[in-house]
Amino acid sequence: MTRSILDDAILAKAASRILARLDSNVKNEVLQLMAAGLEQCSEGLLGENQQDVQSARQRVSAGLLSSAALERLTLNADKLSQMAVGIRAVAALEDPVARILLRSELDDNLELKKITCPFGVVAAIVEARPDAVAQLSALALKSGNALMIKAGEEISRTTDAMLAVFRNALETTHIPIHAITNVQGREAVHELLGLREYVDLVVPRGGAELVRFVSSNTTIPVLGHSDGVCHIYVEASADQEMAIALILDSKIQAPSTCNAVETVLLDQAIANDFVPQLVERLRAYGVKVRGCEATRALAGPKIEAVSDTEWHTEYSDLTLAVRVVSGVDAALEHIERFGSHHTDSIVTRDERVADRFLREVDSAGVFHNVSTRFSDGYRYGFGAEVGISTGKLHARGPVGLDGLLTYKYVLSGAGHCVSEYVGPRAPRSLRHQLAVQV
Amino acid sequence: MTRSILDDAILAKAASRILARLDSNVKNEVLQLMAAGLEQCSEGLLGENQQDVQSARQRVSAGLLSSAALERLTLNADKLSQMAVGIRAVAALEDPVARILLRSELDDNLELKKITCPFGVVAAIVEARPDAVAQLSALALKSGNALMIKAGEEISRTTDAMLAVFRNALETTHIPIHAITNVQGREAVHELLGLREYVDLVVPRGGAELVRFVSSNTTIPVLGHSDGVCHIYVEASADQEMAIALILDSKIQAPSTCNAVETVLLDQAIANDFVPQLVERLRAYGVKVRGCEATRALAGPKIEAVSDTEWHTEYSDLTLAVRVVSGVDAALEHIERFGSHHTDSIVTRDERVADRFLREVDSAGVFHNVSTRFSDGYRYGFGAEVGISTGKLHARGPVGLDGLLTYKYVLSGAGHCVSEYVGPRAPRSLRHQLAVQV
């Protein structure tokens, strides 16, 4: 490597200006070529991936990599065609750039428009998942952003091969190849995170540790979420059968996802009956229950105690913490103190309590009588998911293509000067006639 | 001071939960009481302010404070009643909380809503301007946020007195007084900026130096802008009279504001005629022109040279830099390299060049044949201005009340489990029937 990350960033910035004004048809043409390229080069791609897989297997044997991670980084013909399908789905989405968010006639021939535009250069730091590389490349291009992507070292050969395919597609359509830059080498991450002048947004895709690392090592805005410590609060008036079904769904359906439930809070008033029932049903599905003192008193000594510091834990497996609370106030306080502002659900028949919970819980998703697992861009109907954000600025909750866009104000006039509108004897005044506001 | 900032932040967070669900009428009642309070206590407030003014005068004499700053911190009966008018104007705005941004029926009895909600706790760091203290207090309350405000030390007595009036209004309406917290002492700022767990957003209001200080000393999201290095590019086909009028308006109308022009770029093709004319007109208004070599060659030796590092300078006074460029590409490059992404305007009769400029210039405001001074929340018709953002995340350009709001997803169901929708034999599918999208 002779070229520096800084040089790459300068070229990416230059490419971003061209991407910002690309015609929708051209963008979609590249996306189709990218998808076709993956299919046409499948043999070569799978060959490169096999080499990554072999090295990864050794790391699994040495206990340095989980078998789940190995599974995620392993490609096959089916996964490859899934990626192509995914890229074509992005091509089919409406062009999100230059959408008019507001149009207002400030005065004769003086028109203000607020329109969506790309961020510029997006840096993505992703774990070793080829599907994430494909998806982010497609989303960045569709949204008119240049992408600098650093994928996990475990898939470096696969990433090289995939991005070569994508750059081929860019070349064919005469788009600067720096629309997508392959950032190589672990040490490059720090350098990339320091390029505040060129990089407009950082998107980490991976576990909580990766997101925390990225967030604490850059002053560039970060779009990502850290933890998914989700709660279900079973209020006294809840339909108890519904509550158990929702808890099971939220826990066992996909326990390693960030929208799985980690803690159940339940009202004292119903604890006597509900706790033993719940624990029995959970155990039938292999869920290990941990609990507060009251829970342990009701469900027997086999339940391990949850220490006070443990409540903020994302188990990511078939483990569930259960706590008996005195009522909605205690539940709200617990969620505020130990939650991660991701997704929290209340089960209740009382609409007033539900309203209060939905209003006061400070999380990206606040649910009533619904499984926490619904907190997902595809389930919300967003078509594409850039990630889930537990931050509150810009994007919160599941983030679709819109998360990669900002906006600008475009003002067109005919020589309008502010001095005509200022002061007691100003000849003109602004009328702000709003035509569009979305 | 016995209470710590941390204790205050905990109380502010608790207050924010109550503010989040306050009725619009109650919020407006407090705002009316706040406005009335300023008027009723005018004598006391002006007395406290006089003491601040006296200390400030000594600092002006010692050369530690500008007379413009002294002017801004000095209150009088008229300014006080302006503040009251401002607060009442905020009361008159529509309640921005709980606005539905999206409503979608995912399935029978499964409704997704995206609704606006407050951030929670907003920390404002403002320079010594009583009007900023009043305005931010009103905007925070209206948007349902708890406010922790640290105003410039030069107005500490004034701030104490004003916030006492506001807390009185809160008490009268039975709202926790920690809805507005007075953060005292310079050393408290660092502590405040470190309270990531409690503070959701930081709003610096003041000069570029303050904003830079805040941004580089916190990992909490910051809403603010640093510099206003605005450009006017006079393209070859421009109406030259219009160009001169716009440059004058953008420079002399209020030279210390961030939306004043600092650099004029003009096409080589028209430089011979245009430069001498422009310089003459600018001089007639006392504007000191600095220029590139070509400008100096055309307008005489009295023009000082601009060094290469100087182009990124916010003069904030009657000084203007002029540079002759070879065409639109050079202009775009100059703006990208030396601008601050605030507001840039093109003067041209060529619609195609204008379109390219508007699309490619990466600034919050991109204007065509308009004075840069229009870049302002009130001129845009936003009713209230929280500030101007040159960042791209969340809020860009002039930011109204919406800048203090985020959103959450509310999902209401009847025991809906994800397992019913997953897998090849799933009994149900999501229909995502969009009812509202704004």
CATH value at residue B68: 3.40.605.10
- Is the model's pLDDT at A2 over the cut of 60? no
Kindly state whether A391 is in contact with chain B, defined as any CB-CB distance less than 8 angstroms: yes
User: Could you tell me the CATH number of the domain that includes residue B307?
Assistant: 3.40.309.10
Per-residue pLDDT, B68? 85
Per-residue pLDDT, A216? 83
Contacts of B110 in chain A (CB under 8 A): 370
Contact flag B201-A392 (C-beta cutoff 8 Å): yes
Instruction: Quote the CA–CA distance of B58 and B47 in Å, as a whole number.
Output: 17
Contacts of A394 in chain B (CB under 8 A): 393-394
Per-residue pLDDT, A244? 97
Instruction: Quote the CA–CA distance of A428 and A74 in Å, as a whole number.
Output: 67
DSSP-derived secondary structure letter, A222 = B
Kindly state whether B351 is in contact with chain A, defined as any CB-CB distance less than 8 angstroms: no
Instruction: Quote the CA–CA distance of B152 and B175 in Å, as a whole number.
Output: 26
Q: Per the domain annotation, does A385 fall within a domain?
A: no
- Co-location of A170 and A297 in the same domain: no
Kindly state whether B221 is in contact with chain A, defined as any CB-CB distance less than 8 angstroms: yes
Given B215, B247, B274, the domain boundary residue is: B215
Contact B210, B314 (CB under 8 A): no
Contact flag A380-B406 (C-beta cutoff 8 Å): no
- Co-location of A254 and A128 in the same domain: no
Instruction: Quote the CA–CA distance of A250 and A239 in Å, as a whole number.
Output: 16
- Quote the number of domains for chain A: 2
**Domain coverage including residue A151:** 5-215
- Co-location of A340 and A235 in the same domain: yes
Chain A, nearest residue to B13 by Cα: A336
Q: Per the domain annotation, does A277 fall within a domain?
A: yes
Per-residue pLDDT, A319? 96
The answer to which of A46-50, A378-382, B140-144 has the lowest mean pLDDT is A378-382
Contact flag A249-B369 (C-beta cutoff 8 Å): no
- Co-location of B258 and B122 in the same domain: no
10-residue mean pLDDT profile of chain B (438 residues): values are: 81 94 96 97 97 96 91 94 93 92 92 93 95 94 97 96 98 97 92 92 86 85 83 98 97 90 97 96 95 93 88 93 97 94 96 94 94 90 78 80 90 93 84 72
Can you tell me the ipTM of this complex? 0.84
- Co-location of A207 and A265 in the same domain: no
User: Residues of A numbered 83-112 whose beta carbons fall under 8 angstroms of chain B's beta carbons: which are they?
Assistant: 98, 104, 106, 110, 112
Per-residue pLDDT, A1? 43
Per-residue pLDDT, A382? 80
Q: Per the domain annotation, does A419 fall within a domain?
A: no
- CB-neighbour burial class of residue B141 (10 A; exposed 0-12, middle 13-18, buried 19+): buried
Instruction: Nearest by CB to A417, from B17, B249, B430: name it.
Output: B249
pTM of the model: 0.84
Per-residue pLDDT, A3? 66
- Co-location of A331 and A261 in the same domain: yes
User: Residues of B numbered 21-40 whose beta carbons fall under 8 angstroms of chain A's beta carbons: which are they?
Assistant: 21
User: Residues of B numbered 140-159 whose beta carbons fall under 8 angstroms of chain A's beta carbons: which are they?
Assistant: none
- Co-location of A373 and A249 in the same domain: yes
Contacts of B371 in chain A (CB under 8 A): 416-418
Mutation choice for B interface testing from A197, A392, A394 by most B CBs within 10 A: A392
Q: Per the domain annotation, does A422 fall within a domain?
A: no
Contacts of B336 in chain A (CB under 8 A): 13, 17
Kindly state whether B388 is in contact with chain A, defined as any CB-CB distance less than 8 angstroms: no
- Co-location of A247 and A356 in the same domain: yes
Instruction: Quote the CA–CA distance of A74 and A65 in Å, as a whole number.
Output: 13
Per-residue pLDDT, B41? 95
Per-residue pLDDT, B306? 94
- Co-location of A146 and A62 in the same domain: yes
Percentage of chain A modeled with pLDDT above 70: 98
- Is the model's pLDDT at A22 over the cut of 60? yes
Instruction: Quote the CA–CA distance of B213 and B360 in Å, as a whole number.
Output: 30
Interval A86-136: pLDDT, tens: 999 999 999 999 999 889 999 999 999 999 999 999 999 999 999 999 999
Q: How many CB pairs under 8 A join A and B?
A: 224
User: Residues of B numbered 246-265 whose beta carbons fall under 8 angstroms of chain A's beta carbons: which are they?
Assistant: 246, 248-249, 253
- Co-location of B240 and B365 in the same domain: yes
Q: Per the domain annotation, does A170 fall within a domain?
A: yes
- How far is CA A133 from each of CA A39, A227, A404, B44, rounded to the nearest angstrom? 15, 22, 16, 64
Given B380, B397, B427, the domain boundary residue is: B380
- Is the model's pLDDT at A217 over the cut of 50? yes
Per-residue pLDDT, A129? 92
Kindly state whether A418 is in contact with chain B, defined as any CB-CB distance less than 8 angstroms: yes
Q: Per the domain annotation, does A221 fall within a domain?
A: no
Per-residue pLDDT, B388? 80
Instruction: Quote the CA–CA distance of A83 and A95 in Å, as a whole number.
Output: 20
pLDDT band at A308 (very low <50, low <70, confident <90, very high): confident
Contact A56, A124 (CB under 8 A): no
Per-residue pLDDT, B2? 45
Contact flag A410-B367 (C-beta cutoff 8 Å): yes
- Co-location of A151 and A286 in the same domain: no
User: Residues of A numbered 304-343 whose beta carbons fall under 8 angstroms of chain B's beta carbons: which are they?
Assistant: 332, 336
Q: Per the domain annotation, does B435 fall within a domain?
A: no
| Distance of residue B34 Cα from the nearest chain A Cα, in angstroms | 26
- Is the model's pLDDT at A137 over the cut of 70? yes
Given A380, A397, A426, the domain boundary residue is: A380
Q: Per the domain annotation, does A185 fall within a domain?
A: yes
Chain B, nearest residue to A409 by Cα: B365
Instruction: Quote the CA–CA distance of B1 and B181 in Å, as a whole number.
Output: 13
CA angle A81, A82, A86 (to 5 degrees): 115
Instruction: Quote the CA–CA distance of B402 and B31 in Å, as a whole number.
Output: 18
- Co-location of A190 and A236 in the same domain: no
